[in-house]
Structure 1
Amino acid sequence: MKSLKFYLAALVLVAAGACRTTTQQAASEIEEPPRNLIYGIDADEYRTQTGEVGPGQTLGGILAGYGVTALQVDRLDRAAKDIFPLRNIRAGHKYTAFIHEDSLYAPHLDYLVYERSATQYVTFGFHDDSVSVSTGEKEFTLRRTKKSAVINSSLWGAIMEQKLPYALASEMEDIYQWTVDFFGIQKGDAFTVIYDERFIDDTIPAGIGRVWGARFTQGGKEYYAIPFRQGGKIQYWEADGGSLRKQLLKAPLKFTRISSKFTYARKHPIYKVYRPHTGVDYAAPKGTPVHAVADGVVTFKGWGGGGGNTLKIKHPGNLMTGYLHLSGFARGISKGSHVSQGQLIGYVGSTGASTGPHLDYRIWKNGTPIDPLKVPQKPSEPISEENRALFEFVRDRISAELNGDLAEELRITQLDSLELPASPAATELAAN
């Protein structure tokens, strides 16, 4: 009888243990409630305050309002120097303070997050006697979009009329800067473009991602832009496989208008006499960035008389370009400097014999002036033969999407590990 009671008691203990184990497992399988993360910080542990940087306001001044000492600000300034210098904050940008209260209910700032842009932010942390600085990016979703527009005045005007992302105009100018004459845009020119648009929380627009293809019509001629990876980087190509990149940029600056063209008989606005003007004048606000139109070496930097602050750059093919009336030169630019295509070299000004801010841009071939708007362009290396079939596969898919509807499963969505689809004949042969 004793042995029977002992056996039953053991069974009860085992059952109880099993029950506890099952309960513990069930409890462990219960998901924790989602944390209220803001900029990666658990906001439920803090009292938060949001604000906006005011005109002339410094980060040190903002932090002082939360009780951060001058010593801590100095430490933060040194820690942030190579990540995000404190002087780089700008009026109008938002910030969020994360504050905790100690046992005496005294407030202490643990974090201040500054929004650099719609998607990027900087987190400044304060932990007892130490500080920290880190950067982050908000999570966003991508929405593939196709838009078309007819131009009435300018590319930027069409972008605004259609309420498209402003960044799209800049992106298209970068893609077509060797091919499309944006200073020669006429009413009736048009474009179609496919791009990824970023959204935060699926509703707030936050810029654009990759441009997956474009077709730009200027003067009745179509210019395609097909993305493809060759030589280790993604570039844009014409429909026939020629590179959109050319020896020279179409212009050395953006967002301007032509105020005077190349001629041998222009009435000078100051001297009131007719004399040659062997360049193109681009009217632009003072300080507008000026870029080198091609790789080359600086042969002159200095005062050019009536041309004011002047740069001259020698390029391959016995070409020379000149940039006149600059307000100043970019840092690091000096005689003998090697510059690359698109590199910042100076800023628009009105120095020398000038009636207003503009860039006088000139080109010489073998020492003879030539019209910058009529320079023959040599394209960069085209699609190689070994990449030709894969490029044509990408081109056909992108073109089909630009020119009509393409099933979502057939769209080109990545450019890093593409494979040609097997032909029907090859598929049938493999099956047999």
Structure 2
Amino acid sequence: MDINEPNHHQSPQNSILTQNANKAERKQQRLSERKFKLRWVLAISCLPLFGIYTAFGIAPQTLTSNITTSMVVEEVSLPAVEQAQNDDANLTERFWYKDYVRRDDTLQSVLARVNIRNRDALDFIRTDSVASEIARSIIPGRQVKAETDADGNLFHFEYQINADAFLTITKTTDGYSAKQDDRVLEVRPILKSAKITSSLFGATDAANIPDNIAIQLADIFESEINFHTDLRRGDHFNVIYEGSYDQGELVKVGEVLAAEFVNDGKVYRAVGFRDGNNQMQYYTPEGKSTHKSFLRSPLEFSRVSSGFSVARFHPVLQRMRAHKGVDFAAPTGTRIKASADAVVDFVGQKGGYGNVIVLKHANGVSTLYGHLSRFAPELRRGAKITQGQMIGFVGMSGVATGPHLHYEFLINGQHQDPMKVALPKANILQGSNKAKFESTSSQMTAQLRLLGTSNIAALE
């Protein structure tokens, strides 16, 4: 047999072994390929972890001693501190005191209340030609400020001489210096509302409205409202008045600009307007004067202690007697006003009237004012008097049981009840001023309505 001839006669057993060996080899090859692919997948997935490790850590046993370091020195400039003139003053704690002059205050009590105790300052205030003005201006309501230390040593002092002038005292290296400081005040309106619970002054006190504004209200509406007998609980009013401010602080109040008073359900309004003499006059929003030719009461404010009567038991004479006037109870020294323009007909003493003034008015009218403590300076017979001018002061001269004003109203010599007699109206506003007044009236009336409808308690 030729040895190169294929053997077509191999046994079946050898053929099966050869096939199994080939299958095992192919299976091993496929398994190797899968392991290779898996290693690449794992390697790629671990790349972010290596990045994190590199960012946050240093491999263990890494040497850091070879890293080069250096020191940087940079000069920083501090802001300059301004040296005070008095080093001791910088170390002394200071205090500000503010107060107002009270009734029965003296210069000593005012200075003590604002902690001024060092002798140099007290002597300076009493003896200096400028500072000594303080002692002559101790008037209730005046403002006072002081800057001192805990021991009462004065550094700065301010005293209100009048509404728009202050006296200032300052400590210097040579002692103390004083000067008068005239202020330019800012004037702006103040709007207030109040309700009557007991009296006019009780209502204004509760609303923090100054007394002189209450007095002006009584003057404005006195020809329509009898403030002695007509007020009712629940009556209310709105008022706009001038306020003068120094550096945002109210230092004085001026005149009423407009007012609205609701008495027993009836509404009365008044708007102020300055005449050619710069005197404030009051009119209804339509331009009619609120004042009649005569004032109903010659006192700024008081109460009726005894009315007009044809038969009254006299408390001193102890018998029935006609009382031909009205008695207004008021403290001694209360100012008395002329109820209308007049000429002085009599001034002096007259029997039980004591000190008395008789004024002669137009159209046969005369008024009498009795039991005065004293008369106004330079008041004499024949002198011309204007309505509202001060003519004397309440007292109890003559036959009287206490301080009061006896007031009589006569027409052609016949006594009339001053509280009931019809008083004629004054003339209405006319001429070129009417257009100016209408503009002012429109503005003020709108503000009064705002106060009445929006329940604004106060606007300063």
TM-score normalised according to structure 2 size: 0.62
Which residue, 119, 129, 151 being the options, matches 1:76? 129
From the superposition, tell whether residues 74 and 244 of structure 1 become closer, same or farther in structure 2 (CA, over 3 Å).
Answer: same
Query: Are 1:224 and 2:279 an aligned pair?
Result: no
Say whether 1:305 aligns with 2:347.
Answer: no
Q: In the TM superposition, what is the alpha-carbon distance from 1:357 to its structure 2 partner?
A: 0.8
Gaps of at least 5 residues in structure 1 are 1-32, 34-46, 100-106, 407-432
Count of residues paired in the alignment? 349
Structure 1 letter corresponding to 2:268: Y
Please state if 1:336 is matched with 2:389. Answer: no
CA separation in 1, counterparts of 2:436 and 2:245? 32
Worse-superposed segment, 213-222 or 341-350: 213-222
CA distance, structure 1, for counterparts of residue 195 and residue 141 of structure 2: 34
Q: Within the alignment, does 1:172 sit opposite 2:225 as a pair? A: no
Deviations 1:144-176 (A, max 9, x none): 4242x3322221111123343444313323433
Structure 2 unaligned spans of 5+: 1-81, 83-93, 453-460
Partners in 1 of 2:141 and 2:266 — Cα distance?
43
Which segment is superposed worse, 131-140 or 313-322? 131-140
- What's the offset of the Cα at 1:392? 3.3
CA 1:58–1:166: 2 relative to 1, 3 Å:
closer
Secondary structure of the equivalent of 2:352?
Answer: helix
Q: Which amino acid in the other structure matches residue 442 of structure 2?
A: D
**What is residue 236 of structure 1 aligned with on the other side?**
282
With over 3 angstroms needed to count, the CA separation of the structure-2 counterparts of 1:353 and 1:185, relative to structure 1, is same
Q: What amino acid sits opposite 2:346 in the alignment?
A: F
Counterpart residue number, 2:457: none
**Any conservation in 1 of the 2:165–2:180 contact (CA below 8 Å)?**
no
Judge conservation of contact 1:48–1:96 (CA < 8 Å) in 2: no
Change beyond 3 A, Cα 1:85–1:322? farther
Whole-angstrom CA distance in 2 between matches of 1:91 and 1:388 = 40
Residue of structure 1 equivalent to 2:259:
214
Q: Tell me which residue corresponds to 1:89.
A: 138
> Is 1:355 aligned to residue 355 of structure 2?
no
TM-score by length of 1: 0.66
Paired AA for residue 138 in structure 2 = I
Report the 3-state secondary structure (helix = DSSP H, G, I; strand = E; otherwise coil) of the residue aligned with 1:194: strand
SS of equivalent residue, structure 1 residue 182? coil
Work out whether residues 98 and 112 of structure 1, in 8 Å CA contact, stay in contact via their aligned partners in 2: yes
Kindly provide the amino acid, as one letter, of the partner of residue 89 in structure 1: I
Report the CA distance between 1:398 and its aligned residue: 2.6
- Per-residue deviation at 1:300? 1.8
Give distance in 1, aligned partners of 2:427 and 2:335: 28
Q: Does 1:181 align with 2:234?
A: no
SS at match of 2:129: helix
Q: Aligned runs of 1:28-67 on 2, under 5 Å?
A: 57=106, 67=120
Aligned pairs for 1:50-199 (under 5 A) are 57=106, 67=120, 76=129, 87-90=136-139, 95=144, 113-116=158-161, 120-122=165-167, 134=180, 136-137=182-183, 139=185, 142=188, 144-147=190-193, 149-187=194-232, 188-198=234-244
Cα offset, 1:222, TM superposition: 2.6
Corresponding residue of 2:321: 275
Cα contact 1:120–1:135 (8 A) shared by 2 = yes
Aligned residue number for residue 321 of structure 1? 367
Residue 366 of structure 1: CA displacement?
1.1
Root-mean-square deviation (CA), in Å? 4.2
CA distance in 2, matches of 1:390, 1:51: 43
SS in structure 1 opposite 2:419? helix
Distance apart, 1:360 and its partner CA: 0.6
